[in-house]
Structures are given as C-alpha cells and as structure tokens.
Structure 1
Amino acid sequence: MTAAAAPPASDDEFRFLDFDALRVGRAGPLPAVARIAVDVADHRAVSGLAFDGGLPPEIVALHGAGLNAHSFDPTLLALGRPALALDLPGHGRSDWRSDGDYRPDALAADVVEVLERVARRPVTLLGHSLGGLTAALAAAMRPDLVRRVILVDITPGVSPARDTGSVREFIQGQRDFSSIDEIVQRAQRFGIGHERAALERGIALNTRLRPDGRLEWAHHLAHLEPAPLTADGEEAQPYTPIWGALVRLRSLDVPVALIAADAGILSRQHIAEWEDRLPSSAVVTIHGSHNLHEAAPLRLAEVLDGLHAKRSDAAT
C-alpha cells in the first residue's frame, strides 16, 4: 500500500501520526503520545515524546544531527513498545546550549540527567548517527540504567570530514528557503530519502517560518558558525575514543549492537573495524539510506524488536 500525501501544514505537532501509522501498516487505535520536558544543567530543558505515556519506557531513542524526536515516530509506532524519543539539546523543542557545543560528550551528560529521571528500569538506548555516539557515552557513564545499546548507521570510526560531509553540507550549506518543496528537492539531491510525502512530513516538523516569510531550520546547528559537530582542529577521526566506551559496556555485560544502512555512511571498513573491536556483537544491515528510521521504519522496528528482546550479544 502506498501512503497518502502528507497532511497540510498546521501547528499540531502530532498531525502526522495517522500518516506514519499508515506507512508502517499499524492498525487500530494509536498509542498515547505526550510531550514531556526534563530540566537539566544550566537552566535548560530537554524535551521528548513519550509513547504510551505513563508507562516507563523500555526504549529511549536519540536522533541524529539536524533531526528531532519526531524522526522516530513511524519506527516507534511500528515497534509498539513504551518508548521515549528525545529532542537532543539544540534540536526540536529542547533548549539550545549557550556554548553551541553539540559534540557527543556534551550531549551525553544531558541524556544521563534525563535517564536518571525517567528510567525506572534499565532501558535499551537507541541512537542514530550523532545520537548513537551520544548513546554510547551516556551508557558508559551510567551503565546501571541501560540494558542494551544499539547504534544506527554510525561507529566511532567515522571521519566527519570524509564520511559525513554531505550531511553537514545539507544542514549548513543553505540556511533559508522559499518553500517546503525547495527543501524536498534539495534533500533528494543529497540522497536524503526518496518518498516525497515522508520528506514533506519530516521537513514540516523541522522548520519554522521567519517574519520575512522564508523557512529556516528550527535546530541550532543551522544557525552556528563554524560547524559545531567536530572536534577542535577538524581531526580525521575525533570520535575514536568512544570505542573505549563501547568496549567498557561489553566488559560490564551490557550488549551493544550495530544496525547499518546499505546506502548509508558506513563502509565495509567501518563495519569490519566494529567486528574486530567488538567481536560477537550483533551487526545487522538494512536496505535504505542513512536515516533508516525514516527510510525503512518498519524493517528497522522489526530488527529493533529482535535485538531488544535478546539478553546477550549474537552476531546476525
């Protein structure tokens, strides 16, 4: 079945849930989804979306750079488990950091504060791209709050300059737009999604209208100079130390897993390094682009469900 075109613009942030449910074939009543906020350091708040609100989350999801918690809506609707999708600081409805620091180590401290408030039992910590690196560090800081860590299309071996340059260029290369259609066309040129209705939905939830009538990204990254996602000096592989966090988790019997996109940013060499450093950890490859939670939400949910249900690592 082909999903219908995205609904017209409105101020209701939940207006796409029926559309998302249709995409993943979810029938019946939708779960309760509520907006929550947790106070963190520096008088800031981290916002998020609680699925099956009132129940403690089994899964806490962290999106990638330039996205927001709604990116996970289709996947979490398909998964059907109590979950919390966070807006990382500087994204969605979470407060911007005054220092403009959105590297994984800075974000992880905020995520830990949220987990300390909401995790009534150990959770599966799911992270896509920047959110995956953040998840690894947050879990290593408080392994008692985490039962499993799953990274989506990211490893600490990536080079921002070599492997994620197109993502950064998409986020920061153009700052304002005349219409959603213009952004859709730009996204398609960058290979970010192919289903037009899904792209329109994601863009509508991630932009805001300026007083001059032009659209701009709602996240802080698009308003910063220089690019804030890399370490000082544009190191070739600034995230290499995060391997240590993943190895430590394994030593503490916290399973880790990797879900790769076959048309994403990870090469065979990245996956081979993962398998060498983390032998016997689960590795699954899914057909789709880097943003798997938007490009292949149903398949991603199926894989997540299987990994979440396991208690020990197993290569797939």
Structure 2
Amino acid sequence: MDGCERDTGAAELNRLLETGPFAEALRVAIRERGLGLDRIRERLAKDGAAVSPATLSYWQSGRSRPERRSSLATLARLETLLGVPAGALAALLPPPRRRGRWASGPAGAVELCAHWPQADRVADAVSGVDTRWDERLTRLSQHDRVIVGAGRAERSFVSRQVLRAEADGPDRWVVIMHIDEHDRPVPVVRALHNCRLGRVVARPEDGLLVAELLFPRPLRAGDTVITEHELANIAPFPLATGYERKFRLPVREYVLEVVFDGVRPPAHCESYSRRDSESEKTVNVPVAENGSVHSVALGFGPGVYGFRWEWDGATAPGVTSR
C-alpha cells in the first residue's frame, strides 16, 4: 500500500468512526491494521480475551454485534489492538436488546421524551445535548431531595445517583427539568459532586431546562459513578405544590424526599406512581416530626413517581424532572 492509499484509508476510517455503521468501521479498522482474523484472535487470546474468527467475521459483516459484557470487554481490547481511540467502536453500537428482568413490557426502551407533555418541544431542547449514552447507563440508585422554604416556596432540588456503565464510553448524564410557570426563569443547575457542567439548553418560554453533567472520565463497562447536582430556583420563588420524576428506563432504587424547612407542613401529602400502561396508584404519607416526608420505590419504571400536597386546596404538581 503506497502513501496515498494509506492516507485515503485513514481518512475513511476516521469518517466511519464518527458516523458508523459499526460493522463497516470495524471492517475498515481491521483492514488498516493489516492483520488477519486468526492473528487478531491469537493476539486477543494472549491478552485474556477469547473470541473466535467466526465471531469477528460476523461482527464486521453485520450478522451479529457485541452485546454481552464479555463481548464488550473483548471489543475494548480489540480497539486497543486496532489502534483506534478507546470507546470509538463501542460508541457506534446500537442500544443493546433488552434481556432478563427488564425485558417485560413494550419491546425496546421508551423514547426519551415519551412521558413528557409537548414531547416535540422537549425533543427539540434535548437535541442540543449528547444523549447517545443514556441507554448504556443502568440506574442503580437515585435520590431526589426537594427543599420547600419559608412562604411555601419551592427553593431547590438536590439529586444524587449511582449509575453503572454497560459498555465502554459513557461520559455524561443528561438532566431534563420542566416547570409549569413559563413566565419565570428556569432553575440554575449546579454540579455538586463528581461531575462538571457541560452544555445547557434553557427554554424558559417552554419551562424547560436540559443540561449535561460530565463525569470525571469516560466509564468502562462495569464501572460505577456517583454524581450529585442541584437545581436551584431564582427569587421570587414559585409556590411548591409537588414534584415528580419521569423514568424512561428502570431504576433499582428510587428515594424521593421532601423537606419542609422553616414552614408549617401541609395538612395532606401523598405519593403517587404510574407505570407504563397502568393506572395511577396513590399512598397517603404523614409528615414526620422533623418536617419531612419520603418514599422508596424498588425496581420501578418505566413510569412516573412523585409527591403532591395541599396548600389551601392547590394540588397540581408543578415540577417534573428526569
């Protein structure tokens, strides 16, 4: 291969690593590396990654793709062997097919904006950030703490979550917040722990805020990350009437806590949940002596989970998060 051919091949590979598809990018990467499938198998075996030439052939022809954790780990070793950036080939894989305990319900994951009112506007705002890793992150634990202050004011929302990568490459989490009051500023998002703020899309006319929280480094398959962020309202603060979180994908554990700080608690408070294709379920929750309420859901989603309470008869939830 002369210099011109090498330059052309490298340019083609760089383009395919950006656009895909996975099978073609892998095929060109193998061709550019100049190794046969048997030789690649031998090299990977020495590195502790077992894969047959037939499997490699299926991957580069599009007949199959790596999905299981062992296959994704092999793909990570293969990227190193082929000299492509870590996670570059894995990023081209389509979302994994659902298996096991999460396979019940509709086939495939619910679309990112399916649970939201005016889904087209939410989708337009979300298009301004990178959501490609969303389905590669398992929600192990999520904890929302809602702070209601003096004057029954909706002050802030602090969220802590534990996520696990199911492939190499996830480097961010996307936050979506919707408020009912479209004539006021959207909350300010702050990265509190183990993350930093990326791109932010604010649409106050639609009551929408979308933000990227960037992890300290891209995750490898099996890695976990704990992040914490805050959404803080701007004075004059809105009246707090409720809070709900939308779950596009299941979460192992969800904790929702509301703290009534410096204000007399409401007389009535209830939690509610709606799983996909099921009717709403409600549970009355008494306010504790310390002025807080909380509820725990295990193995929840897809669906909606929230709290609502009464201030002089007002019960409509005002804030929705993801």
TM-score > 0.5, shorter chain as reference: no
Q: TM-score range by the shorter chain?
A: under 0.3
> Which protein is richer in strand relative to its size?
2
Larger gyration radius, structure 1 or structure 2: 2
